[in-house]
Structure 1
Amino acid sequence: MTGSASAPAPRRRGRPPRAQADSGPGARQRILEAARAEFAERGYDKTSVRGIAKAAGVDAALVHHYFGTKDEVFEAAVEMTLEPVQPAPAVVGDGSLDGVGERMARYFIEVWENPATRAQLLAVFRSALTHEAAAKVLRTLVLRRVLERVAAELKVPAPRFRAELAASHMVGIAVLRYVIKVEPLASTDPEEIVRMVAPTLQRYLTDPG
């Protein structure tokens, strides 16, 4: 038998061995769930691809195969976190801007008040506050899911700026209420927050200036 006859077939670059890739059904989903848990518990800086792989029970090469870099794993984990959150059709409604400020305020508050999304959103925000790569992912997803849709419906000058201004107002409330937990905002009834904030958002979004 010659040496060439017994040589293993060359492996495709960037792809893990077949036995590793077939490490069980739902390997990609396990990695994604492990990544979300690791980022939530440790934050962006202290989470590593190796740690995610260990938590998912796979080799780090499989994580790279499915998701690429750490930033890309983080983006996929954030997408998974935001999956239950609808892209904001309730904010825009049927195209009418009457009451859009109240709808936007309620949309943001309900997302944060939902136990299914709050813990993961807290992890995402904490990471975004301390690491630019995490902040970039969050900016991109918020822009795509909310701001572009709202801005498209505004019939006023500088619609995207107005949508960003309104969103920044609500993000500030989210940070103070849910991340830093400043009182009395942290314990104020959600409906009271909506009532107080809605007129300001309405002005941001529809005032002809």
Structure 2
Amino acid sequence: MRVTDVRGKRAGGRRPGVSGTREAILAAAQRGFAEHGYLATTIRGVAAAAGVDPALVLQFFGSKDGLFDAALRADPPTRDLAALLDDGGVADLGERLTRRYLELWEGRDTGPRLLAVVRGASASPSASAMVSAFMADAVMLPLARAVGTGQAELRANLTGAHLLGVATARYVLRVEPLASLDRERVVAILAPLVQHHLTGDLAGS
């Protein structure tokens, strides 16, 4: 299979400092993974897009896996979800969380990055492990803390699995009629189920 590099030109002017160079590499990596996927994005291509030598990318991140993990955690697309969990109680969290999650998938910048995360998780075992660890740290743990009731970790897992499943069917696989359904209609259908996972009685508990 032919590998596609991420190409680009560095803007004129002085080369940025260490911090600026690292940020430029991360930005190029985020674009690369979002546009081309995990497998087709290369160290050489990211270096070209950032205007640096490939050896410098390896110096900062060690490997493509290290670069993927850093790009995933730098300004993560799920950041708004964590902020939302601190805004208000849990009584209507199902609706607020569902709406914001779908909005992120439909966002011009966040949508492609979420798509890259899901596709990256299925591209290789190492990428899958990094996505799993990131989701546990950045999404599941804050959600469990926000729920704060019995079996909070299980409730967070069920909520995340339900939302991810719907997003995968709607935005990745484009399953109809779900893919074409109005977002607010999806929220109306999905939010009560999410709320039940968060605060309702769990069978057998």
Query: Normalising to structure 1: TM-score of the pair?
Result: 0.79
Q: How many positions carry a matched residue from both structures? A: 186
Deviation at 1:106, TM superposition (A): 1.3
The 5 A counterparts of 1:126-145 are 126-145=119-138
Alignment of 1:82-161 (within 5 A): 82=76, 85-94=79-88, 96-161=89-154
Flag structure 2 segments of 5+ consecutive residues without an equivalent: 1-13
2:55 paired residue among 61, 69, 72: 61
Moved more, 181-190 or 53-62: 53-62
Larger Rg: 1
Mark the runs of 5 or more structure 1 residues left unpaired by the alignment: 1-22
- Residues 87, 193 of structure 1: alpha-carbon distance in 2 compared, 3 angstrom cutoff: closer
- Give the whole-Å Cα distance in 1 for the aligned partners of 2:144 and 2:179: 29
Listed one character per residue, the Cα deviations across residues 147-180 of structure 1 (whole Å, up to 9, x for unaligned) are 2112113243321111111111110111111111
Match of residue 182 from structure 1: 175
Partner of 1:70: 64
Preserved CA contact (<8 Å) 1:91 1:103: no
Does structure 1 residue 37 correspond to structure 2 residue 28? no
The normalised TM-score by structure 2 is: 0.81
CA RMSD of aligned residues (A): 2.1
Counterpart in 2 of 1:199?
Answer: 192
Q: Is the deviation greater in 132-141 or in 162-171?
A: 132-141
**Cα displacement (A) at 1:108:** 0.9
Corresponding residue SS for 2:80: coil
* Change in 2 beyond 3 A, CA 1:40/1:150: closer
The 4+ residue runs of structure 1 with deviation greater than 4 A are none
The aligned counterpart of 1:24 is 15
Q: Is the 8 A contact 1:88 1:107 kept in 2?
A: no
Whole-Å separation in 2 of the counterparts to 1:55 and 1:150: 36
Specify the SS of the correspondent of 1:183.
coil
**Identical-residue share of aligned pairs (%):** 39
